[in-house]
Amino acid sequence: MNREELGIKNALEARKMSYAPYSEFHVGAYLETAEGNGYRGCNIENAAYGPSNCAERTAFFKAISEGKKDFSRITIVGGHGEDSLEFCPPCGICLQVMREFCNPKEFEIILARNEKDFRIYTLEDLLPQGFGPENLG
Ligand code: THU
């Protein structure tokens, strides 16, 4: 299994845990550290809507809360149905969380529809000119 397949399989497994009764849009993510650890995340919605959390941030917060800060890539799958998923890019808030911890030129964001159909971006591709820690001087 190559690294894309590994990431996509894990993201699809993560998606099965999605709690999305309001949007019925289920998202799974798999975040990998430079040293080879992986963290799964799913979206978790709330009746009050505002407290809802995206799959990507769930994965990031799991990893960071366990002391990890050196990330290499995240794989994301999302959609309504089971059969034909569409590419699901991270929302602006999730991109900003990534910007806090990841090198924009090196961190990879892999969007997948299935194990064979995926696209690889860098964080800089999806968040050019982003505001990061270094901007605070
Ligand atoms: N969502 C994610 O978890 N990640 C994304 O990349 C886009 C959107 C979630 C938030 C909400 O639970 C549902 O998908 C519909 O927006």
Q: Is residue 62 part of a domain?
A: yes
| Nearest CA residue ID for atom 10, ligand 1 | 54
* Host domain of residue 92: 3-127
**Alpha helix (H) residue ranges in 65-118:** 92-101
Whole-structure pTM value: 0.97
Question: Mean pLDDT across the chain, nearest whole number?
Answer: 97
Which percentage of the chain shows pLDDT scores above 70? 100
Element (H, E) at 57: helix 55-64
Residue 52 domain flag: yes
98 by DSSP, 3-state: which?
helix
The domain that contains 9 carries what CATH number?
3.40.140.10
Amino acid at 131: F
pLDDT over threshold 90, residue 89 = yes
Pocket of ligand 1 (CB under 6 A): 20, 23, 25, 27, 43, 45, 52, 54-56, 76, 78, 88, 90-91
Angle at 73 (CA atoms; ends 71, 74), nearest 5 degrees: 110
User: Is 137 within the bounds of a domain?
Assistant: no
pLDDT for residue 81 is more than 90: no
Query: CA 63 to CA 70: how far, in whole Å?
Result: 10
Q: How far is the CA of 137 from the centre of ligand 1 (A)?
A: 32
In a domain, 66, yes or no: yes
Q: Is residue 132 part of a domain?
A: no
For CA atoms 57, 63, 69, 75, the dihedral sign is negative
Say if 55 falls within a structural domain. yes
The residue annotated as part of the active site, out of 56, 82, 106, 115, is: 56
Tell me, yes or no, whether 110 lies in a domain: yes
The pLDDT assigned to 27 comes to 98
Q: Which residues in 74-107 are b (16+ Cβ under 10 Å) and which e?
A: bbbbbbeeeeebeebbbeeebbebbbebbebeeb
Distance 47 CA to ligand 1 centre (A): 15
Total domains, the chain: 1
In a domain, 135, yes or no: no
